[in-house]
Amino acid sequence: MMNNRKREIRLGTTYSFPMGIWLFIFFLVPLLIIILYSFMKKGLYGGVEWEFSLAAYRQMFNPNFMRVLVRTIVVSVAATFFTMLLALPCGYAMARSRNQTLLLALIIIPFWTNSLIRIYAWIAILSSEGFLNETLKFFHIISESLPLIYNQGAVVTVLIYMYIPFAILPIFTTIDKFDFQLLEAARDVGANKTRAIISVLLPNIRSGIITSFIFTFIPIFGAYTVPLLVGGKDSYMIGNIIVDQVTKTRNWPLASAFSLILTLLSTLGVMWMMVSSAKERSQSGKKNPSFRQGGNL
Amino acid sequence: MNKKMHFIFIVIIFTISIVFTAGCAKEEAVKKQSDTNTLYLYNWTYYTPESVIEKFEEEFNAKVVLDYFGSNEDMFAKLKAGGSGYDIVFPSQDYVSIMMTLDMLTPIDLEKIPNSRYISDLALSKATYDPLMNYSVPYFMGAAGIAVNTKKVTDYPRDWSIFSQTKLKNRMSMLDDMREVMGDALAHLGYSVNTTDEKELKEAQQLINGEWKPNLTKFDAEGFAKSFSSGEFYVVQGYAEAIFEEIEEDRWDDVDFFLPEEGGPMYLDSMVIPKGAKHIELAHQFIDFIHRPEIYAEFLDRFRFPSSVHTEAMNYTTKEPFYVESDLANYELKNDLGENLAAYDEIWQTVRYTD
C-alpha cells in the first residue's frame, strides 16, 4: 500500500516533468525577465541598463497613466458585464438544445478567422458609410449617419463580440452537467421560476461563471488591437501604453512594470478561480473528472 | 457529454495547430533558401516596386525575400532584439544615426555602387549624420501631407490650420505619430520641428490639445487611408503613397493632396546593411541597381514620388508625381532627439492618454 503511494508520487513527478519544463521556459523565465527589467534603468535606445532603479514605478503614478488605467477598468468592467449577461442565456440555451454540436461549431468557427480581419469587418459594419448606417438610411429610419465607430461604445461592442465565446463555453459546460431535476424539486417545494434559477441553478454553476468571468475580463483588460482600431482619439487602454513604451518611447522598464501589473491581476484571478472551484468540489463531495475539466476550460 | 468535451478539445487543438504550422512553414521556407543567392530586404509597406524586384531577380539570378515594417520603431525594436538575417534595411534619418552610433551597420563600399554619383547634393546636405554615405545610401526623401476629399469639402485653408476647422469636426484624422503631429504644430507656429525649447513645445501642446484634437476623430497610422477612401474621413494627415494606393485611379480627381507651404517634418529613408548580413555583395549590387536612373524612375513612377534624392531619374519618369521636389523646400528632417525625447513624450501623453 505504502509502496504504491510512493510509486504514484514518483510517476506523477515524472509525468509532470515535461509540463514543468515548458512552464519554466515559456512562463517563468519571461516573467522573471519582466520583473527584472521593471526595476532597471531605461536604455536610451530601448533595452535596459543594468542598474537598479525604481523610476518605472515612479513614472507609473502619473495622472496621464492613471487616467488610462481608470478608463481601462471602466471599459473592461462594462464589456465583461455585458458579455456575461449575453453568455448566461446562450450557455443555458445551448445546454438545453438538441443540436449542441452544431451550436458549439457555430461558436468556434469564427475563431478560424484571424482576429484582425474580424475587427476590420466590424469597421465595415459600423463606419459612417458602413452597412449598418446605410441599411438604416435605406429604410429611412435615420437621415444622418450615426457615430457608431471610433468611440468607447464601439470598443465595448467589438470586445464583447471578440470574447463572448470564452464566456459561453465554460458556462455551457457547467450548465450541461447540471441536474435539471433539482429545478423541478425547487418548484415542488414552492419556489417560483426565477427563485429556482437564482437559488438553485446559479450557485450550482458558480465555477463556470467565475471561469468565464476571468476568461473574459483578463484578456479584455489587456486589450490592444480593438481600442487601437475601432477606438477614437481617447480610447487608449493599458495594452496600448505597453506597446507604445516598448516601441515608440523606448521605455522598456515602464512597459515591464505595466505588464507585471497585468500579470499579477491575472494570477490573482486564476487563484480565485482555483480556490472557488476547489471549495465547490469539497462541498458537493464528489470528484467528477469531467466537471473539473469543465471548470478549467 | 464526454464526447462534447472531446469535440471542443479537438477543435481547439486543430485551430492551434493550424496557426502554428502556418508560422513554421513560413520559417522553413525562408531557411531553405538562405544558402542560395537570396537577398533579404526589410522595407516599409508601400515602398517596394515589384517590377524592379523582378528585374533585379532576373538580371542577377537572385531571389529577393521581402519583409515589411510599419514604423521605424518597430523595425528598430526587431533588429535590436536580435532579429537579424536581413541584408538591406530602409530606416529613416534618425534611426540611421542611432544605428550608426550603436554600431549596428556594415560600412558601405561606394566603389561597388557607381550609381551613388546620382545622389543629389540636397539629400546629402540633409544627411548630416552621414554625408559621405559611409553607412547609408539615400532611398527617398519626402513628407506627410494633407489629403482632402474635395467632393465633401470645398472651402478650406491649404495649411495645417485645416485641423482647426470646427465645421470638419469628427471627419478628420491625424497620424498616430508623435513626431509628425508635434512637428506640424511646431512648424505651423514657426518653430523648428526639432526644438527643445520648453516654451515652444508648450505652445505646440496647446495648439494640438486646444484647437486640433477636438476636431479629430482619431489618431490613426494604420487605417487612415482606408477610412479616407471609404469616405469616413474627409481630411487626413498622411503619406501620399498610402492614400492613393487605397483609391481607384478614376477617383483621384476628387482628392487634393498637398504639403502645406509653412513646412513640417520631413524624412529621408536610406538603404543600410545591418551587421550580420550574409549577402553583402548582393546587397551592394541591389543598392547600385536601384539607383540606375531608368530603374529609379520606375520606382518613382510606381509611387508617383518626386525625384528628391536622385539627379538623373526625372528624365526617365513618365508619370506626374503627387507632389514636387520644391514642395519640400520648407520641410525639415526629424533628428534623433536622444535624451530630449522625454520632453516630447510627456506632451504626447497629454495628447493621447487624457480626454
Residue B149 shares a structural domain with residue B229 = yes
Residues B337 and B192 reside in one and the same domain:
yes
Q: Which residue of B has its CA nearest to A119?
A: B223
Q: Is A190 domain-assigned?
A: yes
Same domain, B235 and B343: yes
Contact assignment for B230 to A236 by CB distance below 8 Å: no
DSSP state of B61: T
The answer to whether B349 faces chain A, any CB pair under 8 Å, is: yes
The answer to whether residue B23 is domain-embedded is no
Residue A92, classed as helix, strand or coil, is: helix
Q: How far is A2 from chain B (nearest CA, A)?
A: 33
pLDDT, tens only, A177-236: 888 888 889 888 888 888 888 888 888 898 899 999 999 999 999 999 999 999 999 899
Cβ of A73 under 8 Å from any chain B Cβ? no
Verify that B178 and B70 share a domain, yes or no: no
Q: How many CB atoms lie within 10 A of CB A68?
A: 25
CB within 8 Å: B219 and A112 = no
A54, part of any domain: no
- pLDDT at site B6: 64
Q: How far is B329 from chain A (nearest CA, A)?
A: 28
- Which of B80, B223, B354 is closest, CB to CB, to A67? B354
Are residues B226 and B33 in contact, defined by beta-carbon separation less than 8 angstroms? no
Domain membership of residue B18 (yes or no) is: no
DSSP for A113-167, written as a single string: S-HHHHHHHHHHHHSTTSHHHHHHHHTTS-SS----SSSHHHHHHHHHHHHHHHH
Examine residue A1 and state whether it is found in any structural domain, yes or no: no
Q: B274 and B259: one domain?
A: no
Residue B112 lies in a domain: yes
Considering the domain architecture, whether residues B123 and B234 belong to the same structural domain is answered as: no
- How many separate domains does chain B show? 2
Band of pLDDT at residue A1, cut at 50, 70 and 90:
low
Q: According to the model, what pLDDT value does residue A289 have?
A: 43
Kindly state whether residue A24 falls inside one of the protein's structural domains: no
Burial A261-292 (b: 16+ CB within 10 A, else e): bbbeebeebeeebeebbeebbeeeeeeeeebe
Q: With beta carbons less than 8 A apart as the criterion, state whether B240 and B323 touch.
A: yes
Report the pLDDT value the prediction gives residue B9, as an integer from 0 to 100.
61
Q: What is the per-residue pLDDT for B15?
A: 58
Of A108, A232, A236, the CB nearest to B353: A236
Q: Give the pLDDT confidence score for residue A293 in this predicted structure.
A: 42
Which residue from A minimizes the CA distance to B9? A297
Q: Which residue has the higher pLDDT, A3 or B49?
A: B49
Helical H segments across A44-130, by residue range: 55-60, 63-96, 100-108, 115-126
Higher pLDDT, A279 or A254: A254
ipTM for the predicted complex comes to 0.77
| Predicted confidence pLDDT, tens digits, chain B (355 residues) | 455 566 666 666 555 555 555 544 444 445 454 556 899 999 998 798 999 999 999 999 999 999 998 888 889 888 887 767 899 999 999 999 999 999 999 999 999 999 999 999 989 998 999 999 999 999 999 999 999 999 999 999 999 999 999 999 999 999 998 999 999 999 999 999 999 999 999 999 999 999 999 999 999 988 899 999 989 999 999 999 999 989 999 999 999 999 999 999 999 999 999 998 999 999 999 999 999 999 999 999 999 999 999 999 999 999 999 999 899 989 999 988 888 888 998 999 999 988 7
Residues of chain A with Cβ-Cβ distance to B349 below 8 Å are: 62, 64-65
A222 grid coordinates: 489587456
Strand partners, B65: B40
Q: What is the distance between the alpha carbons of residues A182 and A267, in angstroms, rounded to a whole number? A: 34
Tens of pLDDT, residue by residue over A64-97, are 899 999 999 999 999 999 999 999 999 999 999 9
Looking at the fold, whether B224 and B348 belong to one and the same domain comes out as yes
Structural domain that includes position B68? 34-141+268-323
The whole-number pLDDT of residue B23 equals: 47
Same domain (yes/no): B346, B223: yes
In a domain, residue A105? The reply is: yes
DSSP string, B90-137: --BHHHHHHHHHTT-BPPP-GGG-GGGGGB-HHHHHH-TT-TT-SSEE
- Do residues B292 and B275 touch, judged by C-beta distance below 8 A? no
Q: Is B275 inside a domain boundary?
A: yes
User: From A151, which residue of chain B is nearest by alpha-carbon distance?
Assistant: B217
In a domain, B69, yes or no: yes
Look at phi and psi of residue B113 and say left if phi exceeds 0, alpha if psi is from -120 to 50, else beta.
beta
Which structural domain, as residue segments, surrounds residue A100?
63-296
The pLDDT tens digits of the residues spanning A109-157 come to 988 899 999 999 999 999 888 899 999 999 999 888 888 999 999 999 9
Q: Which chain A residues touch B340 with a CB distance below 8 Å?
A: none
Using a CB-CB distance cutoff of 8 angstroms, which residues of chain A are in contact with residue B217? 150, 232-233
Residues A227-257: pLDDT tens digits?
A: 999 999 989 999 999 988 888 888 899 999 9
Instruction: Quote the DSSP letter at residue B256.
Output: E
Same domain as B338, residue B238: yes
- Which residue in B has a C-alpha nearest to residue A173's C-alpha? B5
C-alpha cell at position A48: 535596459
Looking at residue A139, which CATH number applies to its domain?
1.10.3720.10
- Any A CB within 8 A of B170 CB: yes
- Crossing angle of helices A100-108 and A63-96, in 10° steps, is 160
My answer on whether B122 and B162 are in the same domain is no
Across chain B, how many H-helices and E-strands are there? 12, 11
Which one-letter amino acid corresponds to residue B86? Answer: Y
Give the pLDDT confidence score for residue B11 in this predicted structure.
60
CATH number, domain at B46? 3.40.190.10
Residue B11 domain-assigned? no
**Residue A217 belongs to some domain of the structure:** yes
Nearest alpha carbon to residue A71 among A230, A197, A239, A283: A239
* Residue A168 counted as domain residue: yes
Residues of A in contact with B11 (CB under 8 A): 104-105, 108
Q: How far is B206 from chain A (nearest CA, A)?
A: 16
- Best interface-test mutation with A: which of B236, B349, B350 has the largest number of A CBs within 10 A? B349
B262 within 8 A of B330, measured Cβ to Cβ: yes
Q: Cβ of B30: how many Cβ atoms within 10 Å?
A: 14
Residues contacting A222, CB < 8 A, separation 6+: A238, A239, A262
Same domain (yes/no): B110, B256: no
Quick check: A100 contacting B, CB < 8 Å?
yes
CB proximity list for A277: less than 8 A, separation 6 or greater? A207, A210, A211, A292, A295, A296
Q: How far apart are CA B204 and CA B183, in angstroms?
A: 9
Question: How many domains does one find in chain A?
Answer: 1
Inter-axis angle of helices A238-247 and A63-96, to 10 degrees? 130
> B168 in a domain, yes or no?
yes
Tell whether B69 and B166 lie within a shared domain: no
Pairwise CA distance, residues B106 & B277, whole Å: 8
- Is B21 inside a domain boundary? no
Q: Write out the three cell numbers for A202.
A: 446559479
Interface test with A, best of B15, B211, B339, B354 (most A CBs within 10 A): B354
Q: Is residue A106 part of a domain?
A: yes
Provide the pLDDT for residue A14.
85
